[in-house]
Structure 1
Amino acid sequence: MLRRLALLLALLLPALPAFGQAWPDRPVRLVVPYAAGGATDVGARVLAEALGQVLPQPVVVENRVGGAGMIAAEFVARAAPDGHTILFNNTAHAVLRVVVPNAAIDPIRQLLPTVILSEMPMVMLVANSFPAADGRAFIAAVRAAPGRYDFGSTGGGGTLGMAALLFRRTAGLEMNEIPYRGGAPATLDLAAGRIALVFDVALTAFQTAKGGQARAFAVTSPERSPAAPEVPTWREIGVDAEMLVWQALFLPAGTPAPVRAALHAAVARVQQTEAVKRKWTELGVDRVLALSPEESERYVAREVERWEALMR
């Protein structure tokens, strides 16, 4: 009887799920919804390089651009739930269902937030030619001339458009949206004085301001950014709102808890190192994080509830 039981176990074991095996057992793909060179892509490469030094397998960044981020989201959602295909996305993930309402997947239900990695502000950039010396004066000028001034955004639920929407709704401003294919061409038109306003992530926005191409009138975070402590917050210029751009890792629904825990543990390990913290800071990040899967789920749920209501 014992010999028969041993034989039966030997036959069954190869067919059992490999969830108990060490993760990862092959290269890991970190899928980014945006083109190479942007802030999200750069952040993904910082993390991939760091993880590659502590994991037994390499971590490769893969850019799958299009559909306001839905192409990458669908690719990961349909991948095997074994932790080897991971979505690296930002705050724009919270509005995917509104921006792409007829998608083949539900990115909120079919992707599990597993680690919140960072938080950074958006920066309110105003054209040098605009007749206002600070944020309060800018708001007063725009309010006095509804529909006269233009702002640039990437449309489609991107963080530039999200910040501009929240700003205009909260401040009660009527402006014209000018869509661009990316933050860089919008900033070029801002520098040329063709538009009045652009919101950009801290990484590139502070470079733009320090280079004299535009003026930084405010950050969207609740506190001033260590990267530019001279720039006031939204609330300091009279805008009763805040916005933090976060970056996070998502896994396909059904990924086992031990795999999610292993990914979180690896990320937490590298996020604690001074080298990685320094790289994040250079990207304009205010807070370097490694929230647990449970904390990350609650965090994203709050963001989805907030942003979907605003976008709708």
Structure 2
Amino acid sequence: MRKRFTLGLVALALLALPAAAQTFPDRPVRLVVPFAPGGATDVGARVLAEALGQVLPQPVVVENRQGGAGMVASEFVARAAPDGHTILFNNTSHAVLRVVVPNAPIDPIRQLSPVTVLSEMPMVMLVANSFPAKDGREFLAAVRAAPGKYDYGSTGGGGTLGMAALLFQRTAGVRMNEIPYRGGAPATLDLAAGRISLVFDIALTGLQTAKGGQARAFAVSGPERSPAAPEIPTWREIGVDAEMVVWQAMFGPTATPAPIRDALHAAVVKVQQMEAVRRKWTELGVDRVLATTPAEAERYVARDVERWEGLMATAQQR
């Protein structure tokens, strides 16, 4: 009954839209990803694009525009026509972009507005198979006993891998050396080879790394164990009193008319209710499948911007 009621509300919302929104889109929609193909954000964007293509009258095409810690893609979308045909698909790293790129040509928080938050998932704490610890507590003890001895991989520039490592070190009271990579994939390759000791990866790809035997998953960063891997403890269970969820969201130019945003949101509600889509998200490590309204998304992202900008700014002052 609840599902039928929700679908009814969506149908009413679509009927109430002006004619321009009812004909949207009239050409292919570009879903712009700030990172290289094959990464977690790209994978998520392709899941969404394929599903949206089934409910919209036009195809949805993923376009990768990496560079500048995500600023290249953000600027491209912010300067695009605000007609809903060019949309940014980004993750939690969007929340720190102003700190990471202080002299950027645009303000990504002011010039891009969330359309909807789509998913939440934890980071996975991946430890090299060669590291002399059998679980997360032993890993913490070893790293605490040797400050600055061990290396961790990140994508630098405020990516989620580095954000998780920063929060982890700050909370756990440990110090490790950051080794920046161009993406999560090469960092994971070096982890599998034993060249570095630790990588925090988004569950969407991190759980696959652990299941494939390239590294061991010692913890997840969410508030609870992940349904996709209930055998992996949380940060708090291994003695790290913190939590972090990575969200994925759609953004459009701030000037995008509300009816266009509402039309996009209505399409997302439809695909997120599809059993096949929800099953795919779960298989990829998503803990919560969402379709927040634009207003809810604004508040959601604003809270994370406040949290992460403060943490990143403090870290840069040290």
Letter in 2 for 1:225: S
The offset of 1:147, in angstroms, is 0.9
- Partner of residue 47, structure 1: 48
The 3-state SS of whatever aligns with 2:108 is: coil
Residues 60-209 of structure 1: matches in 2 within 5 Å?
A: 60-209=61-210
Q: For residue 257 of structure 1, report the CA deviation from its aligned partner.
A: 1.1
> What amino acid maps onto 2:207 in structure 1?
F
CA deviations over 1:210-247 (Å, ceiling 9, x no partner): 22221111000000011111100001111111111110
Identify the residue that residue 4 of structure 2 maps to in structure 1.
Answer: none
Could you tell me which amino acid in structure 2 is paired with residue 249 of structure 1?
A: M
1:22 partner letter: T
Say which SS state the counterpart of residue 110 (structure 2) adopts: coil
Shift of residue 18 of structure 1? 8.0
Other structure's SS at 1:109 match: helix
Structure 1 counterpart of 2:5: none
Match of 1:294?
295
Which piece of structure 1 moves more, 175-184 or 110-119? 175-184
* Cα displacement (A) at 1:21: 5.6
Q: Which residue matches 1:14?
A: none
Q: Which residue of 1 aligns with 2:8?
A: none
Q: Which amino acid aligns with 2:142?
A: A
Q: Is the 8 A contact 2:39 2:185 kept in 1?
A: no
Query: Aligned partner of 1:287: which letter?
Result: R
Encode CA deviations 1:127-163: one digit per residue, 9 max, x unaligned.
1222222111111111111111111111111111111
Q: CA separation in 1, counterparts of 2:155 and 2:146?
A: 24
Give structure 2 stretches of 5+ with no counterpart: 1-17, 314-318
Q: Secondary structure at the match of 1:108?
A: helix
The answer on whether the counterparts of 2:31 and 2:89 sit within 8 Å (CA) in structure 1 is yes
Matched, 1:241 2:242: yes
The answer as to whether partners of 2:120 and 2:245 remain within 8 angstroms in 1 is yes
With the length of structure 2 as denominator, give the TM-score of the two structures: 0.90
Quote the RMSD (CA, aligned, Å).
1.4
Is the 1:19–1:256 contact (alpha carbons within 8 Å) kept by the matching residues of 2? no
Q: TM-score, normalised by structure 1?
A: 0.92
Matched residue type, 2:156: G
* Count of residues paired in the alignment: 296
Cα displacement (A) at 1:20: 5.6
Shift of 1:22: 2.5
Q: Is the 8 A contact 2:39 2:183 kept in 1?
A: no
Equivalent residue, structure 1, for 2:285: 284
Gaps (5+ residues) in structure 1? 1-16
Cα distance between partner residues in 1 of 2:48 and 2:128: 34
Q: Distance in 2 between matches of 1:54 and 1:213?
A: 38
Q: Which amino acid aligns with 2:150?
A: Y
Amino acid at match of 1:183: G
Cα offset for 1:204?
2.2
Residues 1:25 and 2:26 aligned together: yes
CA–CA distance in 2 between the matches of 1:21 and 1:128?
54
Per the alignment, in what secondary structure is the counterpart of residue 217 of structure 1?
strand
- Provide the C-alpha distance between the structure 2 equivalents of 1:52 and 1:28, rounded to a whole number of angstroms: 9
Q: Which residue of 1 aligns with 2:307?
A: 306
